[in-house]
């Protein structure tokens, strides 16, 4: 029903906006809750057992994170007597809130729900989950000052490593995208303390790249690496572009995805954190490996020639192809 859909999408927008606009912890928590409640019907809309399972898992983790956030902010109000987001001073609620937000966006070691949930959703809802749902918690993370740098460095490094190792033996594309999301978030968290604007840049480029990746897979109707091998016949022009999109997601130099990693490594080196920068750069190689594997499966293997499969791509709808064209161009040539 379009009215219900409109209401839910309005709820999504409203929740994020409330969190953006709030300077009070209770209001921020309310925004996050509205956000969660709005996306749950969207996730379970197909009434497939797998979708319902994913929705339940998502609901439980988000509710836990929100409860932790509420507990931490009340503890903060109890210890320091104020509710302002900007002026968190006590280390205990600060740490707890950082961990709650990390659970909300799926940073390692609180990441295990993300691949499971994403695998159970269709690609459109998965796209919303990978992009829009990260905005509100990130707004809060950017606002809280003086978090212990060790915690952020640990979360960030663990996420880049887990995102690399986890994606290696996956054959399902949505799980690969989930691990790629974890790795990208790790890069953003690494630099959060030293240069918030870089974190935002990384988030923005991640959004553009993820958008085009999800749209490509949606147009191909492919959810596993095997399905990609026959995508030549479904959409030949698109298939020749996809490896570039994937390699951009992995952060290969002439493409857009390289920009945030380059700047982040430079900033880490400026802060005398050479070991951290080295580890992060090495963990990016892990991610690059599985993107290369998908690209290989997609373009460098011979596809079975069936002439009946050649027709559908000529008639694809402009609603999907225009955003796809914009996102793909941006993903490949924004550097």
The per-residue pLDDT for 102 is 97
Task: With respect to residue 86, please indicate whether it lies within any of the assigned structural domains.
Answer: no
Task: With respect to residue 113, please indicate whether it lies within any of the assigned structural domains.
Answer: no
Would you call 306 exposed, middle or buried from its count of C-beta atoms within 10 A (0-12, 13-18, 19+)? exposed
The per-residue pLDDT for 43 is 97
Range 222-255 burial, b when 16+ CB lie within 10 A, else e? bbbbebbbbbbbbbeebbebbbbbbbbbbbbeeb
The per-residue pLDDT for 197 is 96
Phi (first) and psi of residue 24, to 5 degrees? -110, 135
The Cα 8–Cα 129 span in angstroms is 14
Task: With respect to residue 123, please indicate whether it lies within any of the assigned structural domains.
Answer: no
The per-residue pLDDT for 322 is 87
The per-residue pLDDT for 297 is 83
The per-residue pLDDT for 300 is 72
The Cα 254–Cα 335 span in angstroms is 7
Task: With respect to residue 99, please indicate whether it lies within any of the assigned structural domains.
Answer: no
The Cα 213–Cα 332 span in angstroms is 11
Take residue 197 and report the two structure tokens written for it.
């604007």
Task: With respect to residue 59, please indicate whether it lies within any of the assigned structural domains.
Answer: no
Q: How far is CA 160 from the centre of its chain?
A: 13
Q: How far is CA 327 from the centre of its chain?
A: 16
The per-residue pLDDT for 170 is 93
The Cα 88–Cα 129 span in angstroms is 28
The Cα 213–Cα 215 span in angstroms is 5
The domain total for the chain is 1
Task: With respect to residue 23, please indicate whether it lies within any of the assigned structural domains.
Answer: no
- Can you list the pairs that 33-40 forms with residues at least 24 positions away whose Cβ atoms lie under 8 Å? 33/66, 35/11, 35/133, 35/136, 36/62, 36/63, 36/66, 37/11, 38/8, 38/9, 38/10, 38/11, 38/12, 38/14, 39/8, 39/12, 39/125, 39/128, 39/129, 39/133
Distances (CA, A) of 94 to 91, 101, 102, 133, 157: 5, 11, 12, 22, 20
Q: Judge whether 192 and 271 are in contact, CB under 8 Å.
A: no
Task: With respect to residue 203, please indicate whether it lies within any of the assigned structural domains.
Answer: yes
Task: With respect to residue 75, please indicate whether it lies within any of the assigned structural domains.
Answer: no
Take residue 84 and report the two structure tokens written for it.
């302002």
Low-confidence ranges of the chain (pLDDT < 70): 301-316
The per-residue pLDDT for 108 is 93
The per-residue pLDDT for 310 is 54
Structural domain containing residue 319: 148-332
């Amino acid at each position: 029903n379009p009215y219900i859909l409109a209401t839910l999408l309005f709820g999504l927008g409203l929740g994020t906006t409330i969190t953006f606009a709030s300077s009070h912890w209770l209001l921020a928590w309310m925004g996050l809750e509205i956000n969660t409640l709005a996306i749950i019907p969207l996730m379970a809309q197909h009434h497939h057992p797998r979708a319902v399972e994913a929705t339940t898992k998502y609901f439980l983790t988000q509710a836990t994170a929100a409860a932790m956030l509420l507990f931490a902010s009340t503890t903060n109000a109890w210890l320091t007597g104020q509710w302002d987001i900007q002026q968190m001073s006590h280390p205990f609620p600060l740490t707890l809130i950082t961990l709650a937000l990390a659970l909300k966006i799926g940073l390692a070691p609180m990441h295990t729900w993300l691949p499971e949930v994403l695998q159970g959703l269709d690609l459109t809802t998965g796209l919303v989950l990978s992009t829009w749902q990260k905005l509100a918690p990130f707004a809060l993370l950017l606002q809280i000052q003086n978090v212990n740098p060790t915690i952020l460095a640990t979360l960030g490094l663990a996420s880049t490593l887990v995102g690399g190792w986890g994606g290696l033996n996956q054959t399902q594309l949505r799980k690969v995208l989930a691990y790629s999301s974890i790795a990208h978030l790790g890069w953003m968290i690494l630099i959060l303390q030293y240069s918030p604007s870089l974190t935002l840049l990384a988030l923005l480029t991640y959004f553009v790249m993820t958008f085009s990746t999800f749209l490509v897979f949606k147009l191909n109707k492919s959810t596993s690496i095997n399905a990609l091998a026959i995508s030549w016949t479904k959409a030949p022009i698109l298939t020749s572009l996809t490896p570039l999109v994937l390699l951009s997601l992995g952060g290969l130099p002439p493409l857009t995805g390289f920009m945030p990693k380059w700047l982040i490594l430079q900033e880490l080196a400026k802060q005398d954190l050479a070991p951290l920068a080295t580890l992060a750069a090495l963990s990016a190689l892990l991610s690059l490996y599985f993107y290369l594997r998908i690209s290989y499966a997609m373009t460098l293997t011979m596809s079975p020639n069936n002439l009946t499969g050649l027709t559908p791509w000529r008639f694809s709808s402009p609603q999907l192809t225009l955003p796809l064209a914009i996102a793909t161009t941006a993903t490949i040539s924004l550097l």
